[in-house]
Structure 1
């Protein structure tokens, strides 16, 4: 099934729901480069692309539901497409993975990826982003690899570049492509690429930063019962896959980290408030109930909460 562009772009609304994702897969291959894709949530899927070509720069506003997109070695070998692309996140959260790095995309941030090497884009929920696509031949940049999967975010020069492209795309969609600005697009794209390349961390630095973020999130969230991997991943702006990968490298599970933080809190409360019922201690420290507190406390401390309060076990 091929995708035929309408006046304002493409949309899965053009087909019935049973064929929506198959149609979407064709859309993104026609709009960008050859890609494999799959939905990551059950149920209906919807997506649309508003595309404009302005000289050598192509601008596509993508609005879609959760999905994973892969540019694989076999697709690269078959298609020989030579582009640099940048995702500017407008709504929702996503990840760009390439060259051993993972860039988290939140609203206002931008990350580059290269069509000549494998990459993955992953979105856990509904999102909207602007994709800027430029032929590699138009960019006299030697060290592209240093710039891929590095997020430019927050105030500063990178934000000025993202604002430029968002504004340019908006003007083009409204039928006013601002021709005076178009010649500057490639130069600003190259400039942002240089910013990303100069700030690229190695994968070990990236993982260390994610681990620190995860530990801070757990310390902040452990007091609430029922905290899930999805909750922690969302709080850290990473995918479940990235969350489990960095914890596996540390040799700890999410369950263990939550348990240890809740037990730490319980030890403080047990000694500070000796008359507080054990069930109330459990609720205050994020345990689902008294039995869960007893089990976790014995695993970590080696004695029951009551014995610990009475002075047994370490202090």
Structure 2
């Protein structure tokens, strides 16, 4: 178990927010952040890593944090982020949903899809970062950016996670024993949250989830198009496009993004595969099509990305840069 502490307290004023942006990217996931207040900015993060699961206590001021497709494509691992609000107020957006977080509430974010966090003033949070590989088969569609109201199962799990963070400060050995129970509890509350949200979710949101699932399952098919997706989801083409409009992402952009995501995994996990094979297994018509789409989404060529992944280095991201 390792524990690290960062603070802007000793950073020169002109460099404070750039330093803060770097800390967020290094501790959680790649994002772009900007201050939204004229007041002097301050922030601190206390981070612990426990068997691959990160526990980060964040205290900071007004800001906006954005995670884009390009940043997602540059990351080497996928995470579930569990955010528990302990002070102040924040607004979370992902997949067309918005959750207002007050002390005692909790939300889930999937690091493989874009999101936005907005903080209007001083706030504090506990952010639990869990590798998706520890939640095998867990589909997060329908549970992302879902606010739990601080009562019932949600409150029990958030209290356990806050207690686990406190315990690993006092006795890391005991915290390590309790850690597997945290993963099990999160799986249970995700099931509960998903079931509970179905009745409250609009028809358009349910259609959007169905579309995303259908496209993901058939992303290797190079003939995948609007007619196929609409028929497979039991929708008219008009309903298909209307359902996707809330995400401000067209079907073409969705297919391209998911194909690039698959190609990125193949490039990282199978460095021996020729680009033509990577393209075919990702649903692209050929290596040239893969190259164009990959460069558009990721901002670099497939070869450059594979070299960086093979070397074990992180892909370059300029702190605070909006993609």
TM-score normalised over the length of structure 1: 0.60
1:13 offset after TM fit, Å? 1.4
1:51 corresponds to 2:50: no
Give the match for residue 39 of structure 1: 35
- Which residue does the alignment assign to 2:98? 102
Instruction: Give the Cα–Cα distance (whole angstroms) in 1 for the partners of residues 90 and 112 of structure 2.
Output: 21
SS of the equivalent of 1:20 reads helix
User: Are 2:174 and 1:191 aligned?
Assistant: no
Paired with 2:82 and 2:179, the residues of 1 have a C-alpha distance of 17
CA distance in 2, matches of 1:196, 1:7: 31
- 1:82-139 alpha-carbon deviations (Å, 9 max, x no partner): 1010100000011111010001111000000011110111111100000011011110
Distance 1:28 1:175 in 2: 26
Q: What is the alpha-carbon distance in structure 2 between the residues aligned to residue 174 and residue 11 of structure 1?
A: 21
Contact in 2 for aligned 1:66/1:126 (Cα 8 Å): yes
Larger radius of gyration: 1
Aligned ranges 1:7-156 → 2 under 5 Å: 8-156=4-152
- Change in CA separation of 1:8 and 1:151 when aligned onto 2, cut-off 3 Å: same
Secondary structure class of the residue paired with 1:14? coil
In 2, Cα distance between equivalents of 1:92 and 1:59: 19
CA shift digits 1:3-22 (9 cap, x unpaired): xxx96411111311221110
Q: Assess if the C-alpha contact under 8 Å between 1:72 and 1:119 holds in 2.
A: yes
Do the aligned partners of residues 14 and 189 (structure 1) sit closer, same or farther apart at CA in structure 2, a change above 3 Å counting? farther
Q: CA deviation at 1:53?
A: 1.2
SS in 2 for 1:146: coil
Shift of 1:192: 2.0
Q: Is the 8 A contact 1:82 1:116 kept in 2?
A: yes
CA–CA separation in structure 1 for the residues paired with 2:104 and 2:173: 21
Tell me how far apart the structure 2 counterparts of residues 94 and 205 of structure 1 sit (CA, whole Å): 25
Measured at CA, do residues 131 and 203 of structure 1 come closer, stay the same or move farther in structure 2, by a change above 3 Å?
farther
Q: Aligned partners of 1:204, 1:22: CA distance in 2, in Å?
A: 42
Distance in 2 separating the partners of 1:91 and 1:107: 5
Partner Cα distance (1:152, 1:186) in 2: 17
Is 1:147–1:198's contact at 8 Å kept on the other side of the alignment? no
The Cα shift of 1:27 comes to 0.3
The CA distance in 2 between the partners of 1:204 and 1:62, in whole Å, is: 36
Shift of 1:171: 1.6
TM-score (norm 2): 0.59
The CA deviation at 1:145 is: 1.2
* Counterpart-to-counterpart distance in 1, 2:91 and 2:108: 11
CA deviation digits over 1:250-306, x for unaligned, max 9? xxxxxxxxxxxxxxxxxxxxxxxxxxxxxxxxxxxxxxxxxxxxxxxxxxxxxxxxx
Aligned to 1:254: none
Contiguous gaps of at least 5 residues in structure 2: 206-323
Q: CA RMSD in A?
A: 2.0
Distance change in 2, residues 1:177/1:193 (3 Å): farther
Task: Using the TM superposition, give the Cα deviation of residue 58 of structure 1 relative to its aligned residue in structure 2, in angstroms.
Answer: 1.1
3-state SS, counterpart of residue 164 of structure 1: helix
Output the CA distance in 1 between the equivalents of 2:173 and 2:117.
Answer: 28
Cα drift, residue 182 of structure 1: 1.6
Q: Counterparts of 1:83 and 1:7 in 2: how far apart (Å)?
A: 20
Aligned residues: 201
Q: Is the 8 A contact 2:3 2:46 kept in 1?
A: no
Identify which range, 9-18 or 100-109, moves more after superposition. Answer: 9-18
SS in 2 for 1:182: helix
